[in-house]
Amino acid sequence: MKKKIHIWCPNFRTFGGGIGSFTKQLYVSLDKKKNIISVISKNDLMLDLDKNQNVIIFQLIKFFKLIVFVSRIILKFFTQKPELIITTHINFSVFAYLAKILFKIQYIVVAHGLEINSRISKFQLIALNNSEKIISVSRWTQNRLLQLGININKIVIIGNTASEKIFHPKYSTKNLRYFYKIKSNEKIILTVSRLDKMEKHKGYDLIIKAMEKLTKKFKNIRYLIVGGGDDQKRIKILIKKLKLEKSILLCGFVPDNKLPYYYCLADVFALPSTGEGFGIVFLESMLSGTPVVGGNKDGSIDALNNGHLGLLVKPKNIQSITLGLIKILKKSGPKFWFSPKKLRKACLKIHSRDVFEKKINYQINNI
């Protein structure tokens, strides 16, 4: 008999950042020969509204989405009662715990990063403690769980993966260069991140400040920031204040199918974050053959395999970020970092879909 598994998640079809990417890779990696998989997503209901436009309506839509989400869970229980629930966000863990109490259904919680903190509710903490397992995407996230008093034997570390078919070094960058008027001899720094006021830990503002020195060090250099969000106004003001309008491009939101072109365009991908649970964008960049710079204080350490796959810098130190970017732009470091094929191969050795799939299915089959 095939095991019936429900995946409860914030996003699946629509863009959902790192959590959404993890959920998609989880779904693809689960053994369909041994399992019947159903995905129930909260935010795929197409009722989105800018929270700055009308707070009351925004909150009503959030509440409505929750009601629809819970209704879909209940309906699925009647049509296809699961034997296992995997919730890819802690917000749904309490519902999973209730399912265990009422129907004796086992459940797994996936922990990503900043959502695991001292402000989680008492009920969420109970739900974590009563889960069969907690999948942590990095050692940094594991430490956050341990700080909450979670038993280390309950935690399994499974790092993220990224699409090997979508991200590779073979994309032509001719059209992008033409569109942004980028010269062939220009150095390109790239960051892919939501520009959200709640996610200032990403460090893109510090790279902007580092650009003051980088524009003096390199005659032709540009910094491209891909991503949208409510922090754009502050960033635009900072760019204007530093008189870097000609050197920094805010590219806005770019759909997944266009992202590979940006990675292939860049000479270095940088995200000196202090709160990254893992950082799938690092994998996307390395699979595209582009070397990376990350922070040495969070889950980026796992993504960069303790600095073997990319350069780790002090994420709050502008000088460290600047020197790190100069180092990569001058191709100073292990030779394979600057060989697209070899960098991709090194990344796949640790973070491939096969590695992820084996770890996931082992845990599912051994509950």
Instruction: Encode pLDDT of 171-224 as tens digits.
Output: 999 999 999 999 999 999 999 999 988 888 999 999 999 999 999 999 899 999
Same-domain check for residues 242 and 306? yes
Same-domain check for residues 110 and 21? yes
Give me the CATH number covering residue 199: 3.40.50.2000
- The reported pLDDT for the residue numbered 48 is 41
Range with lowest mean pLDDT among 54-68, 255-269, 309-323: 54-68
- The reported pLDDT for the residue numbered 108 is 98
Instruction: Encode pLDDT of 323-342 as tens digits.
Output: 999 999 999 999 999 999 99
Cβ 328 vs Cβ 221: under 8 Å: no
Residue 306, pLDDT above cutoff 90? yes
- The reported pLDDT for the residue numbered 1 is 66
Residue 46, pLDDT above cutoff 60? no
Instruction: Judge whether 167 lies within some domain.
Output: no
Instruction: Judge whether 26 lies within some domain.
Output: yes
Instruction: Encode pLDDT of 239-260 as tens digits.
Output: 999 999 999 999 999 988 899 9
Residues 6+ positions from 149 with CB-CB distance below 8 Å: 125
Same-domain check for residues 198 and 147? no
Q: What is the mean pLDDT of residues 235-240?
A: 96
Domain that holds residue 70: 3-160+352-365
Number of domains in the chain: 2
| Separation CA 294–CA 64 (nearest Å) | 38
| Separation CA 36–CA 4 (nearest Å) | 5
Q: What is the residue-wise DSSP string for 192-208?
A: E----GGGGGG-HHHHH
Same-domain check for residues 126 and 236? no
| Separation CA 117–CA 131 (nearest Å) | 17
- The reported pLDDT for the residue numbered 54 is 47
Q: What is the mean pLDDT of residues 68-77?
A: 82
Q: What is the mean pLDDT of residues 83-94?
A: 95
Categorize the per-residue pLDDT at 119 as very low, low, confident or very high, splitting at 50, 70 and 90: very high
| Separation CA 244–CA 144 (nearest Å) | 38
Same-domain check for residues 338 and 210? yes
Cβ 213 vs Cβ 322: under 8 Å: yes
- Say what the pTM is: 0.91
Residue 86, pLDDT above cutoff 70? yes
Q: What is the residue-wise DSSP string for 34-88?
A: TEEEEEEESTTSS----TTT-HHHHHHHHHHHHHHHHHHHHHHHHHS--SEEEES
Same-domain check for residues 206 and 146? no
Instruction: Judge whether 309 lies within some domain.
Output: yes
% of the chain exceeding 90 in pLDDT: 80
Which stretch of DSSP H or E encloses residue 330?
none
Instruction: Judge whether 129 lies within some domain.
Output: yes
Same-domain check for residues 146 and 98? yes
| Separation CA 88–CA 247 (nearest Å) | 39
Same-domain check for residues 54 and 192? no
15 vs 285, residue with greater confidence:
285
% of the chain exceeding 70 in pLDDT: 94
Same-domain check for residues 357 and 345? no
Same-domain check for residues 151 and 178? no
Instruction: Judge whether 301 lies within some domain.
Output: yes
Cβ 146 vs Cβ 123: under 8 Å: no
81 vs 280, residue with greater confidence:
280
Same-domain check for residues 183 and 322? yes
The H-assigned helical ranges of the chain are: 17-29, 55-79, 93-103, 122-129, 139-147, 174-180, 204-217, 232-241, 259-265, 280-287, 300-303, 318-329, 340-351, 353-365
Same-domain check for residues 204 and 142? no
32 vs 164, residue with greater confidence:
164
Instruction: Judge whether 165 lies within some domain.
Output: no
- The reported pLDDT for the residue numbered 63 is 67
Residue 47, pLDDT above cutoff 60? no
Strand partners, 319: none
Instruction: Judge whether 166 lies within some domain.
Output: no
Instruction: Judge whether 168 lies within some domain.
Output: no
- The reported pLDDT for the residue numbered 68 is 80
Categorize the per-residue pLDDT at 42 as very low, low, confident or very high, splitting at 50, 70 and 90: confident
